[in-house]
Amino acid sequence: MKKINLFGIAIVLIGISISACKKKYDDSKEVAPPVSSPEKIAAALNGTWKMTNALHVDEKSLVKESMNISDFLTSESGQVPNIIFNTADSSFTVDTTNLVLNLFELSSGKWSFDDNRYPSRIILKDLNGNPSSELIIGKNLLSPAPQINFVSSVNCGAEKAFSYNVSFFKNN
């Protein structure tokens, strides 16, 4: 019995000594500076984004059948739709010169993120600040190959009939 009590006391003393050696964690210090900031994310958006892929998706189909329509959105001279973002004044310009179809409702306006710290969408607005359409951030803007996607749905009554899915990659 005495051995069990001495063994128990020894375990308790070892536990106390180990916890006494442990440094307290200081919550006020940052472990490392953040990799991303709203300024870095906005700077990564700045520049020209060119269309790389466009799909026409049948929304009524069970398997969401799609057809590549990139050639249809490309002019005879090889011009593809592009979006130019300017982070200095939060403006954008859509260039669809000589193209058959302009999927965007606007040719220019203002843009903003849905969340400045962790954006998942870019909201395109007219010059009065009214939201017109959205771009989905497909790949992180700070990654080596960032991607944004434009999705436009066409309804038949209250039901989606088909949609256009257009992908853009940064040109510069």
Residue with tokens 């859509």: 94
Domain tally for the chain? 1
Residue 158 resides in a domain:
yes
pTM exceeds 0.85, yes or no: no
Residue with tokens 């220019």: 108
Residue 15 resides in a domain:
no
Average pLDDT estimate for 16-21 = 67
The amino acid that residue 65 corresponds to is E
Kind and range of the H or E element at 14?
A: helix 2-21
Asked if residues 127 and 109 have their Cβ atoms less than 8 Å apart, the reply is: yes
- How many other CB atoms sit within 10 Å of the CB of residue 109? 22
* 118-146 pLDDT, tens digit each: 899 999 998 888 888 899 998 888 888 89
Domain boundaries, position 138 = 38-170
Residue 132 resides in a domain:
yes
CA distance 54 to 62: 20
CATH number (domain holding residue 141): 2.40.128
